[in-house]
Amino acid sequence: MLKRLRRSLTLGLLLCAALPAHAGEMLADARVIRSVSHGQSFAREMNAVGRLVGIDPALLRAVVVQESNGNPNAVSEAGAVGLTQLMPVAIRQYTREAARLLGRPVNPRSALDNLLIGAFYYRDALRRTHGNVEAAARLYHGGPNLAMHGPRTTAYGKAVAWRYRQMTRASVRPAV
C-alpha cells in the first residue's frame, strides 16, 4: 500500500514539476509517460510503460505491432480499441490500477492510457504463464478460458512470440 502511495505521490510531484529530472530512472519513465506525442511511433512511451510496469518494452512493441500496427485509433469488429486492442472487460479490470498510477481518470482511447492498461494485462498474463511469451500472448488474445482458445488464438501467440524474438535479436546485433 505504501509503495503504491509513494508511486502516486512521485507521479503527482512530477506533474507539478516539484522534483528534479535526476530523481531516478522511474521518475524519468513517468515523465515520458506524461508527454505522449501524437502521430509518432510511441516507442518512447512503450519503453517507459514497459519499464514502469515490469515487462520488456520490446514485448510491448511486439504486441502493439501485432494488435494495431501502431494505430492508436484502431477499433476492431469485436469492439477492441487502441494500440493494444483492449476489450471492455480488460479496460474495466485495469482502469483502477492505471488511474492510481496516472493520478487521473483513464481514457482507454488515449494512446498512453491504452498502452498502460495493455501492459498491466500482459504483465498478468506473463505471471500466469511463468514468463512464457507465447502462452501469455494466447491469454492476452483469447482470454482466461483456455477451452475457448482456437486456431486464431494459437496463431496469434506464435506471431507475437516470433515478433518479439525478431525485435530482441535486432536490438542485440553488434554495430557495423
Q: Which residues are catalytic?
A: 67
Whole-angstrom distance, CA of residue 176 vs CA of residue 157: 33
For residue 23, the SS3 value is coil
Tell me the one-letter amino acid at 77: E
Whole-angstrom distance, CA of residue 111 vs CA of residue 116: 9
Q: Considering only CA atoms, which of 28, 25, 34, 170 is closest in space to residue 102?
A: 34
Burial zone of 154 (CB within 10 Å; 0-12 exposed, 13-18 middle, 19+ buried): middle
Whole-angstrom distance, CA of residue 56 vs CA of residue 30: 16
